[in-house]
Amino acid sequence: QVQLVESGGGLVKPGGSLRLSCAASGFTFSDYYLSWVRQTPGKGLDWISYISLSGETIYYADSVKGRFTISRDNAKNSLYLQMNSLRAEDTAVYYCARQVVATIGGDAFDIWGQGTLVTVSS
């Protein structure tokens, strides 16, 4: 069964750090681009980071640039998000998502994890 399972969320104080993990199964992990997407409670979706197949290309949303670091370990079929200098506005459910490239152009998030809640509060 193709799936992504996030872990590592929790309650952290402002200025603190947290590392999220995303374990993949049921597909060839190294064949897919991956992203982290977050959703503020009761609100919409925000893409925050992308990593290419071997990690050679990485992008971040401006809101997390310089504070978050995305990485992957293809040998362990795992994606990571190191989050430093956390702020109250980083409170959200964090999803890892697999990206597939459409033959007719563009790409889409076709597989999502169940999400892990990060709460930043004193």
Partner 1 sequence: DIQMTQSPSSLSASIGDRVTITCRASQSISSYLNWYQQKPGKAPNLLIFAASSLQSGVPSRFSGSGSGTDFTLTVSSLQPEDFATYYCQQSYSTPSFGGGTKVEIK
- Give the residues lining the site for partner 1 (CB under 8 A): 35, 37, 44-47, 50, 59, 61, 95, 100, 102, 104-110, 112-115
The CA distance from 22 to 34, in Å, is 10
Tell me the closest approach of the beta carbon of residue 91 to partner 1, in angstroms. 17
Closer to partner 1 by Cβ: residue 18 or 22: 22
Closer to partner 1 by Cβ: residue 14 or 31: 31
Closer to partner 1 by Cβ: residue 13 or 65: 65
Q: Order the strands of the 18-25 sheet from edge to edge.
A: 3-7, 18-25, 78-83, 68-73
Tell me the closest approach of the beta carbon of residue 16 to partner 1, in angstroms. 26
The CA distance from 3 to 6, in Å, is 10
Which phi and psi angles does 78 have, rounded to 5°? Answer: -135, 145
